[in-house]
Amino acid sequence: MKDLKIIDILQSPVAISPSAGLKVFEVINSFINKEESIRLFFDGIEDCTTAFCNATIGKLFMRYSQEKLKQLLIFPDLDQFPIWKDKIERSIQLGTDENMRESHQQNLTDLLAS
């Protein structure tokens, strides 16, 4: 099992841009492709956004099955960062579930109608 720290990949504690997300995605993807399991650590990260999470985690869950990623990718220290945990969980839902993405659009429609 490979331990990866986001801060080491980015060489920065700032994980907010989609381009930073894609950088982390590419690293994780290279391991998942080879069926290698990963422990991804947020330790040291000071800033994290939805755009980053979508580009990293959301994109992985669009590409691979949830079952596969549950086996190969774990987040050992995410419980320490509740705000980012919510963002990651939403990215997983959006990446996994086409219905969720459609529901997201429905929320927009509902809001416009309100």
Partner 1 sequence: MPEVQYKFSQTTIDTNNRGIDELLQFYHFAKAQPPYTKITLNLSNLTKFDANLSAVLLAINHRIKRQKKYLFVEIPGHINVLFRNGFVGHMQGKGDDPAIFDNRDSTIPLKTFMKSEDESFCSYLKKDFFGQRGLDDVPAQHKTALRSHFEEIFTNVGLHAETEELVYTCGQFFPVEKVLKFSLLDLGVGFLKKIQPVSNGKVTCDREAIDWATFGGNSTKDKKLHGPGGSGLKDIRDYCSQNSGSLHIVSGTCYWTIVNGKLFSYVLSRPFEGVMVNLIFRNI
Stretch near partner 1 under the rule CB under 8 A, chosen from 1-9, 36-44, 54-62, 69-77: 54-62
64: Cα separation from own chain's centroid: 13
Residue 94 in contact with partner 1, rule: CB under 8 A:
yes
- Helix or strand or coil: residue 10? helix
CB of 78 to partner 1, least distance (A): 15
Within a 13 Å sphere around the CA of 11, how many CA atoms are in the beta-carbon half?
0
Stretch near partner 1 under the rule CB under 8 A, chosen from 1-9, 33-41, 68-76, 105-113: 105-113
Among 28, 32, 56, 72, binds partner 1 (CB under 8 A): 56
DSSP letter assigned to residue 53: H
Among 14, 27, 29, 78, binds partner 1 (CB under 8 A): 14
Q: How far apart are CA 24 and CA 7, in angstroms?
A: 10
